[in-house]
């Protein structure tokens, strides 16, 4: 299994194992319905079974892994119901957070200037990977864009909740992005959203982000038909 070996630097082994396995689930390297084994993943990541077991507990709580009696652990199938629930929560929480960021933004404050530099680098990197047609890297930069804006309001609890509920939605987002390759459209939307935030325009930020989040609905039926083996319900 091709997963990066854990070094133990900066974060605990269990945190790193959780992040690496979760990313593999979201990007479908660990596919829906696939059985996963603590010993195998531990060997692949270069750690003992204990960090893997702790990561599994967190992923079970997020319903990205399920444990079945006599059958062990497997990656959960993608659920349209979970996607709809996650999208609803994301609209409620993330849109409110971006509106608050637009209200708080002070272009003269060093903290906001630093955040603006980070976002502009992300947007520049997005343009670069679009030219390279690198879907996986664009997906990572998409996540970085949203979380960098969320950092603006300094609400760690909110960020944690949004991260947890995005797992189910992100598998669908990744599939859609890989099939439709709407990278230019999404990058343009990111730039417009950021412009609304730095312009202290919460109403426009709300409108643009709401539309940005809901774009996934348009192609869902076709994606489900094409990848029916990934879905249940």
Strands 35-36 and 72-75, by their bridges, are antiparallel
Cβ atoms of 231 and 83 closer than 8 Å: no
pTM for the predicted model, two decimal places: 0.86
Q: Tens digits of per-residue pLDDT, 125-175?
A: 999 999 999 999 999 999 999 999 999 999 999 988 888 888 889 999 999
Domains and CATH numbers, the chain: 13-76 (1.10.10.10), 80-232 (1.20.120.530)
Q: Which residues of the chain have pLDDT under 50?
A: 6-8
From CA 190, how far away is CA 123, in angstroms rounded? Answer: 8
pLDDT at 221: 86
From CA 149, how far away is CA 101, in angstroms rounded? Answer: 7
Q: Tens digits of per-residue pLDDT, 75-91?
A: 999 999 999 898 898 88
Strands 35-36 and 78-79, by their bridges, are unpaired
């Amino acid at each position: 299994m091709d997963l990066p070996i854990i070094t133990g630097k900066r974060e605990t082994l269990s945190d790193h194992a959780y992040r690496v396995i979760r990313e593999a689930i979201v990007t479908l390297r660990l596919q829906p319905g696939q059985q996963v084994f603590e010993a195998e993943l531990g060997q692949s990541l270069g750690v003992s079974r204990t960090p893997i077991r702790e990561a599994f507990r967190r992923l079970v709580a997020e319903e990205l892994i399920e444990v079945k009696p006599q059958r062990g652990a497997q990656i959960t199938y993608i659920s349209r119901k979970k996607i709809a629930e996650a999208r609803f929560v994301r609209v409620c929480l993330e849109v409110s957070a971006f509106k608050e960021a637009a209200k708080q933004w002070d272009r003269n404050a060093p903290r906001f200037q630093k955040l603006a530099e980070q976002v502009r680098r992300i947007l520049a990197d997005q343009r670069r990977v679009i030219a390279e047609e690198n879907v996986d890297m664009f997906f990572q930069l998409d996540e970085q864009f949203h979380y960098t804006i969320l950092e603006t309001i300094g609400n760690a609890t909110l960020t944690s909740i949004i991260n947890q509920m995005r797992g189910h939605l992100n598998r669908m987002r990744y599939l859609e992005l890989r099939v439709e390759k709407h990278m230019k459209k999404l990058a343009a939307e990111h730039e417009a959203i950021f412009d609304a935030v730095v312009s202290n325009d919460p109403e426009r930020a709300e409108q643009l982000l709401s539309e940005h989040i809901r774009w996934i609905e348009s192609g869902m039926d076709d994606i489900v038909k094409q990848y029916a083996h990934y879905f249940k319900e």
